[in-house]
Structure 1
């Protein structure tokens, strides 16, 4: 029954994707996708095993929980690059299907396997996606959604940043899953940073978060299903394939 339900869910997502793209690329694979950029290996190399996420090595594949049915992979263009491509996969039976792809940005100084506060790099790894929120009203999120004008007010006084936190999804790095994205608890300690989110793109690198077009954020909020135990796999090409 679980496999049938997963297949039905996957089909429903494909059927509704085209209705989500009015304010950013959020359609099927390659529809308004990576804006001319190609994720390292994502489309250039065929997947050799459909039961595995493409271009993710055994080390990180093993960290994807067995009951996960949705994975967002952020393929960084290089260890020191702020540019990346996000690809959303859903499981249909035992096989992973690529559903959507978007241009993205990560930390302005690239990636790190040991993130510290203020290093301007995004942490490499596999992280849960459990909680969401933002300045704007809930767009129909399946994740718990915390709407708060004050907590998600932009932290940079520049026009390009006015709407970056309209929608956010917490990346479960150094935080307590099941709490609002702005919860300040840091299980690894304050020096290891925190507040690593998915949020709206402002055109360049971040302080460690991953940024996506508005349409992509709305699609993910409406699609990420707690019952599918969604996770995010993120890093530069070398670390992802290790």
Structure 2
């Protein structure tokens, strides 16, 4: 988490956390994650996809206007975004780092979403579920689920670091990440397989990325 915070806020490649991403993948694969790899039936894959879209829709409703709200905060559109909306905190982060890359905020957002889509679903699930949750299992299943979700949520707080970010929105973002972490952890326990949370995480990140691509280039 410390490495992710340093890379996200201070490294020359900020806000992309490359070393953290590589470690999340390498530690479970080479240090000893004990996750299993099994097949799921077609019906259960469809249920999983439906669950992810339902959660995305619910969070979009809870956050006010979802991706359109974020785009309006970045200056695309005219919808008002409440100060507790995580879109405000993410928009502040994107606006802060866009000049560093010579990009407009919407372009920076697209680059950031694509980076997250490519690596996070695989890397974070290998680490937080396949490694952290497994290492916590001797403490009890419930403890492993709760602690892995908590660590997952705290790690995501570094994405919103800085005094210029709306603190209410940042707190809501951490809370939402904790709930997502719980969902991914329960999916992992569901079949004792890394595939359900991995697929859910990839889909969850892919939805806003594809929406943004459609809104920009569709």
Q: TM-score, normalised by structure 1?
A: 0.27
Higher RCO (CA-CA < 8 Å; seq separation 6+): 2
More strand by share: 1
